[in-house]
Amino acid sequence: MNGNAVKLDAIPKYHLCRLLRCNVTDATDERRQKSLKTLRDLLKTLDGQKVTLIGDTMLDRYHHGFANNLNSTAPVPVLKITHSEESPGASAHIAIGLSSFGMNVSFHTALGDDSEGRSIIYTLNELNIPTDNVRLIPSRETLTKIRFFGSRESLLDRGQILLQADRGTNEPVSQDVSSKLASSALKDLGDSCALVISDYDKGVVSTEESLKLISEANKIGIPIIVDPKLTGLEKSRGASVVIFEKRGMSLLARRIGLDVEDAAQSMLSEYSWKGILVLGGINGVQLYQRDRESIMIPCMAPAAEQQIGMHDAAATSLAAALGSGLSLYDAALLASASCECVLSANTAQEYIDRDTLGVWLDELSWQMRISER
């Protein structure tokens, strides 16, 4: 033994725990600092790689105003609307994010042939995102999420949500449309670096078509990112990584009758996933991998303003990182940083973009260097 080596049995137990914890923390911090540099370099070099994306799309519409008074006939606030805005939502968030990263997106989705659907297509075209594979369905209403935000005039700068109203059909698209979308997506997989399936259970992706896409992507050897509904886990069988919220993961664990850690391992084996990324908002993200201890990445955002678009930001980052050959840990770290950006975003700006994410990665790296002093 080296004469300078520390004998553990000669150290009081309290100090030994502190020494071991310090060594683990140092190693974790060093790994994270190295990954942050890798991710920052990745954002600078992403250019032209192709991602195939298929999923449900909706329109997010926001009305903002002042809620200074109550209705005279019911105990509800009266919102005086000062301005409104709208943006493509759900899988379109992912398309916008990937395009901002400098990646090419082959986007496969279906919309109603109405003003809301055409508004989504117009916005995507303005952002130079191809819409050749976006199908407009006659006599179908595009699902629109309408949110009302109110604040007290001269007292609060930022409003809080008062009400959400949904307009449009919740009925799935026909099997014929779903099959055509999946067939066109299959043709695009050959020169793609990743496949993303964003399932909001609106029928764009059926179980049969999803499994075909996953099987083909696995044959090609590209990563598969799936954001599934809890009731549609079979659609994600064989995926590289799936995305859940913390509440959803807890619900699945109770359904199985195991604690969260054991439930994650059970599902990783049952569905042949390589990883599960659990989004906890201000509580950070947790990465589960088969036969490994889970990794917790704490949230570093100074404050959480909203959480719309977190799943989509995570899927965007996972596709960019895994599609570029990075590890699942690096991909999870990028997804965590993206979620932090979304948590701090203004409404109608809840999609991730390269510049904002790059600045935040620099901030995280700076915070870690400061904490080491």
pLDDT band at residue 207, thresholds of 50, 70 and 90? very high
β-pair partners for 105: 51
- Pick the range with the lowest mean pLDDT from 31-45, 67-81, 229-243: 31-45
Name the nearest CA neighbour of 319 among 5, 35, 42: 42
User: What is the pLDDT at residue 96?
Assistant: 96
Give the SS3 label for residue 63. Answer: strand
More confident residue, 244 or 42: 244
**For residue range 336-361, what is the model confidence (pLDDT) as tens digits?**
999 998 888 776 566 788 998 998 88
What's the sign of the alpha-carbon dihedral 336, 340, 343, 346? negative
Q: Which residues lie closer than 8 Å to 200 by C-beta, 6 or more apart?
A: 55, 56, 58, 90, 91, 229
Q: What mean pLDDT, rounded, does the chain reach?
A: 88
185 within 8 A of 215, measured Cβ to Cβ: no
The CATH number covering residue 117 comes to 3.40.1190.20
In a domain, 257, yes or no: yes
Average pLDDT value for residue range 49-55: 97
Could you tell me if residue 352 is inside a domain?
Answer: yes
Residue 142: which residues within 8 A CB-CB, separation 6 or more?
Answer: 57, 58, 59, 111, 112, 114, 116, 117, 120, 168
Q: Residue 235, Cβ neighbours under 10 Å: how many?
A: 24
- 104-112 β-sheet, strand order: 134-137, 104-112, 50-55, 194-198, 224-227, 241-245, 275-279, 285-289, 295-297
Residue 264 placed within a domain? yes
Q: Is the pLDDT of residue 7 over 60?
A: no
**More confident site: 46 or 279:** 279
pLDDT at 254 exceeding the cut of 80: yes
Mean pLDDT (whole number) for 257-286: 96
Backbone angles phi, psi at 270, to 5 degrees: -60, -40
Please name the helix (run of DSSP H) or strand (run of DSSP E) that holds residue 69, with its range, or none. strand 57-70
pLDDT band at 27 (very low <50, low <70, confident <90, very high): low
Question: Percent of the chain beyond pLDDT 90?
Answer: 67
Question: Helix 13-45 vs helix 354-371: angle between axes, to the nearest 10 degrees?
Answer: 150
Res. 235: pLDDT tops 70: yes
For residue 167, give the 3-state DSSP assignment.
strand
| Confidence (pLDDT) at 246 | 95
Q: What is the pLDDT of residues 301-335, one digit of tens each?
A: 776 777 788 999 999 999 999 999 999 999 999 99
Q: What is the pLDDT of residue 24?
A: 39
Counted domains in the chain: 1
The predicted structure's pLDDT at residue 109: 98
Distances in Å between the alpha carbon of 38 and those of 103, 155, 334?
Answer: 18, 43, 10
Taking residue 225's Cβ as centre, other Cβ atoms within 10 Å add up to 32
Flag whether pLDDT at 129 surpasses 60. Answer: yes
pLDDT confidence of residue 228: 95
- Domain span at residue 204? 47-57+89-141+172-371
Quote the pLDDT of residue 372: 57
In a domain, 342, yes or no: yes
Q: Which residue has the higher pLDDT, 348 or 266?
A: 266
* pLDDT recorded at residue 21: 36
pLDDT score of 160 more than 60: yes
* pLDDT tier, 122 (very low <50, low <70, confident <90, very high otherwise): very high
Flag whether 286 is in a domain: yes
Q: What is the pLDDT of residue 16?
A: 32
SS3 5: coil
| pLDDT of the residue at 156 | 63
* Max mean pLDDT range (155-169, 176-190, 337-351): 176-190
Inside any domain, residue 161? no
What's residue 34's pLDDT? Answer: 83
Asked whether residue 190 is assigned to any structural domain, the reply reads: yes
In single-letter form, the type of residue at position 7 comes to K
Residue 3 pLDDT more than 80? no
pLDDT at 302 (0 to 100): 72
Give the CA distances from residue 192 to residues 166, 179, 214, 363, in Å, rounded to whole numbers and listed in that order.
34, 20, 13, 31
**Is 30 a residue whose pLDDT tops 90?**
no
CA-angle at 108, arms to 107 and 110, nearest 5°: 125
Interval 253-275 mean pLDDT: 97
How far apart (Å, rounded) are the C-alpha atoms in residues 247 and 253?
A: 10
Q: Name the amino acid, one letter, at 184.
A: S
The percentage of the chain sitting over the pLDDT mark of 70, rounded to a whole number, equals 88
* DSSP labels, 241-261: EEEEEHHHHHHHHHHHTS-HH
Give the pLDDT of residue 157: 65
Residues 112 and 119 sit within 8 Å (Cβ to Cβ): no
Residue 78 lies in a domain: no
Report the side by side order of strands in the sheet with 77-90: 77-90, 57-70, 144-151, 160-167
